[in-house]
Structure 1
Amino acid sequence: MTISDDVLNASCRYEPIGEAERRRFQEQGWLLIPGALDAATHRRMVNAVDTIYAEEERAGGLRGDRSLHLLGFFSRNPEFAELLDYPTTFRYVWSLLGWNIYSHHNHIDVNPPVEPGPLPWNWHQDGYRQNSDVDLSPRPMLSLKICFVLSDLTEKGRGATQIIPGSHLDNQLAGRPAKTSDPYVNPPGAVEIQAEAGDAFVFDRRLWHSRSLNTSDVTRKLIFVGYTHRWIRPLDEPRYHPDANWQLGLSAVRRQLLGSGPDHANFWGVRQDGWIDDEIPLRAELRRRGVLDGSEPYLR
């Protein structure tokens, strides 16, 4: 789990992805980012997640199987903020979604081993009512997620995320049992994302996916950071606010990614007079670096 110095350099986060990667993402709905976290950052994130797990355990916040699914976690530890625009992953976010974005949905997942048995049907697309209220085929992407893999998921049976590559273009998924508790066979084309600790993957929110069962001796630990357009409402309500001013020391881009903005018009990418707002932090940064001349409409 090593990354060259030039990849970790802060400027790398503003290098657009290549056309081959863009096409593969558009066709498959996901991409693996090997070695996304350097060893030191990986250790810090594991320690931060372990600390939160212990806090939730003391507070009675774990589920019956001792798993944790914690929404809106950024304010729990200031170190998490660097994941918002981490160099090896953020370049995929703005390259695929554009500059008028923020992080609307985030969760930490910790899944200790459980006894073998049937896993309830959990195949889904993200977005909830976006999958009902938008009557198009296929529906628009609207959001994507970066998943930071903290534990070794290179072997099956460790609870890795299951996906169906290419399924983001299908509004429906066949194979759902009559009741979610009924046994079932995974849909055709389902695969586990077998990743090393420190890897990451990015996926289209429309990609049909599900968690698999962790029957190993390894605890599954993942951090998911979701991004969408700033004119879409947030999904999470942070459960913990140690300090209302905790964002003040962050960069302007990170504050944007956490949802800040001077007024409602700004979230739509314009000034109060209706003209495009060139001072939106991520747009201003990309413009300064000469990246806004791309072929995609949201990068113009």
Structure 2
Amino acid sequence: MHTDAPPRPYVDRYAPITDADRRAFAEQGYLLIRGALDEPLRAEIENAVDRVYAAEERAGRLSPHGAMHTLGAVFRDEAFTELLDLPATFPHLWGHLGWNIYVHHSHIDVNPPVPDDEPPAWRWHQDGYRQNADLAMEPRPMFSIKVAYVLSDLSEPGRGGTLVLPGSQYSNTLERTEPGPDGHYPRPPGTVEISARPGDAFLFDRRLWHSRSPNLSAITRKMVFLCYTYRWIRWRDDVTINRHTPWWNGLTPLRRQLLGDGDEAASHFGFTLESGVWDDAIPLRAALKSRGLLDHSQHYLR
């Protein structure tokens, strides 16, 4: 159930998530985290978004109405590095997915007010692309969790807030509603529009049925999305890792892991070829192990 009193952000990236948070995420498929970004960091991230936007505009890659959907966000500006293991959100990623994870997909969305002539569209979807076609099971595995960082004031309806259907992550299909006389599709019953303030974040199960709503306000919607998945799943974005830059060499081992680094192919499957057992040198596993946070009762935290 969506409430206006969500969990307080965690202050330690290795703090285990609470039973209440785990239960809420499992039941509704998403979790809203108020104040995930303090104002200095929110402003820094928004400035980075504006720099990317200006570069895309110069390159002629914006939509005719000035909207931007740019992939590979975490490699577009060094400021986004701070989001990789943000204490307010990171516990939810390893807490639900385990230690063998990385960010395989990230994007920046900038959505100015929609033009009057924009045609109605059905935008409801699950993330995952062929993961939703190649696996014949009900429900399909979660595989990934996406974190959305809200930089604009989306606290009022009509500002392009994300629509979600709580609990729908356990259903492989969603029946399309019939368009009305004006051609617009009514929202599916039970739809919630996430009401978020600047600096808030929300995370959601990739299977959760969700949609962007039209921005009918005078505010430009700005958001950054990071999608975490298992290291044995391929990149979604076309990115190139340059391991010889000062930026890369200044990263922590954990952040390198989260950006797709690995010593050998077997490492991405969580083990070493030499030993045939779990690789304790994988940075997130090493950090959790040193803190006694591995849990053999949870298969993904073994």
Residue by residue, what CA displacement relative to the aligned partner does 1:169-216 show, whole Å, maximum 9, x if unpaired? 0100012569xx953211111121110000000000000001000010
2:88 aligns with 88
**Superposition pairs for residues 195-234 of structure 1, below 5 Å?**
195-234=196-235
1:134 maps to 135
Tell me the percent identity.
54
CA contact (8 A) 2:177 2:186 kept: no
TM-score, with structure 2 as normaliser:
0.91
Structure 1 residues 166 and 7 mapped into 2: Cα distance closer, same or farther (>3 Å)? closer
1:28 to 1:90, Cα distance in 2 relative to 1, 3 A: same
Aligned match of 1:102: 102
Contact 2:120 2:183 in 1 (8 A): no
Match of 1:296 among 274, 295, 298: 298
Q: Distance in 2 between matches of 1:210 and 1:60?
A: 26
Mapped partners of 1:51, 1:217: distance in 2: 21
Q: CA RMSD in A?
A: 2.0
- Equivalent residue pairs, number: 290
Matches of 2:242 and 2:152, distance apart in 1: 28
The 1-side partners of 2:221 and 2:184 are apart by: 23
Moved over 4 A (4+): 6-9, 240-244
Corresponding position of 2:287: 285
Q: 1:84, 1:155 → 2: CA distance?
A: 28
Match for residue 32 of structure 1?
Answer: 32
Tell me the CA shift for residue 262 of structure 1: 0.8
Give the stretch that moved more between structures: 109-118 or 88-97: 109-118
Q: State the Cα distance separating 1:249 from its structure 2 match.
A: 1.2
Letter in 2 for 1:48: A
Task: Report the Cα distance in structure 1 between the residues aligned to 2:61 and 2:155, rounded to whole angstroms.
Answer: 29
Q: 5+ residue gaps in structure 2? A: 1-7
> In the TM superposition, what whole-angstrom CA distance separates every residue of 1:244-263 from its partner, at most 9, and x where no partner exists?
52422100000000000011
* 1:252-267 equivalence runs, <5 A: 252-267=253-268
Q: In 2, distance between residues paired with 1:182 and 1:130?
A: 31
| Cα separation, 1, equivalents of 2:209 and 2:21 | 20
**TM-score normalised per structure 1:** 0.92
Pairwise CA distance, 1:110: 0.2
Which residue of 2 is the match for residue 189 of structure 1? 190
**Partner Cα separation in structure 1 for residue 226 and residue 158 of structure 2:** 24
Q: Which 5+ residue runs of structure 1 have no aligned equivalent?
A: 1-5
CA distance in 1, matches of 2:267, 2:65: 43
What SS is found at the alignment partner of 1:173? coil
**One-letter code aligned to 1:14:** Y
Q: For the residues of structure 1 that align with 2:166 and 2:36, how far apart are their CA atoms?
A: 21
Q: Distance in 1 between matches of 2:90 and 2:233?
A: 19
Cα distance in 1 for partners of 2:173, 2:50 equals 37
Distance 1:230 1:242, change over 3 A: closer
- The DSSP-based 3-state class of the residue aligned with 2:109 is strand
Question: Is residue 256–residue 281 contact of structure 1 (8 Å, CA) maintained in 2?
Answer: yes
- What is the DSSP-based 3-state SS (H/G/I as helix, E as strand, rest coil) of the residue aligned with 2:106? strand
The answer as to whether partners of 1:70 and 1:107 remain within 8 angstroms in 2 is: yes
Asked whether 1:112 is paired with 2:112, we answer yes
**C-alpha distance 294-95 of structure 1, shift in aligned 2 (>3 A):** farther
- 1:119·1:213 contact (CA, 8 Å) conserved in 2? no
For 2:90 and 2:65, how far apart are their aligned partners in 1? 33
Are the counterparts in 2 of residues 103 and 226 from structure 1 also a CA contact under 8 Å? Answer: yes
Change (3 A) 1:185 1:208: same
In the alignment, the residues of structure 2 paired with residue 64 and residue 115 of structure 1 have an alpha-carbon distance, to the nearest angstrom, of: 10
**1:276 alignment partner in structure 2:** 278
Q: Which amino acid aligns with 2:130?
A: R
The 3 A distance-change label for structure 1 pair 243 and 257 is closer
